[in-house]
Amino acid sequence: MQKARPPIGLKTPSLLLSWELYTKHLIRQVAREGTLKLLIPIGMEVELAITRRRMEQAVSICAGTEVADTFPAPNAWIPGECFGLESKSYIFITHVSILFSNFQEDMDPFMPSLLNW
C-alpha cells in the first residue's frame, strides 16, 4: 500500500524547516570535524527549496569541503537518457573517486583504514 503524501504546497516549507532545524547543524558539525568533503544535493526540488547559498554557507566553516552539482532524484526523468542518471552518475563517481584518493593521502598512516578494500 502506498504511503499518503502531504499536500504539494507543504513540500518546500517542509524541506526548508528540516534544513534549518536539523540538517544544517548536522552538516556543520561534520564539516567542523573535518570529515565532510562533499555535500551532494539530490533533486532539483531540494536545491530550489534550500538554495545553494544556504548549503555553501553551511560547509564554508571547513576549507576543502564543497557543494557538488545537484544530482537528479532517482525518479527524475532527464530527456535524452535511457534511465536519467547515466551521465550524472559518471561525473559523480569520477569526482568522488578523486576526493576519496585525496582523503586517503591525508589520513594518518597509523589509523587503521577500512577504506582499503
pTM of this structure: 0.63
> CA-CA-CA-CA torsion for 70, 71, 75, 76, nearest 10 degrees?
60
- The secondary structure element, H or E, covering residue 52 is helix 52-59
Residue with cell 526523468: 77
- Determine which of 6-10, 11-15, 23-27, 106-110 has the lowest per-residue pLDDT on average: 106-110
Stronger pLDDT, 37 or 3, i.e. the higher one: 37
Average pLDDT, the chain: 75
- pLDDT tens per residue, range 48-59: 999 999 999 999
Distances in whole angstroms, Cα of residue 1 to Cα of each of 4, 7, 101? 9, 18, 43
Distance, CA of 5 to CA of 21 (rounded, Å): 21
* Percentage of residues in the chain having pLDDT higher than 90: 20
- pLDDT tens per residue, range 50-101: 999 999 999 988 888 888 888 877 666 556 555 545 566 666 676 667 666 6
Give the pLDDT score at 8: 82
Question: Cα-flanking dihedrals φ and ψ of residue 55, to 5°?
Answer: -65, -45
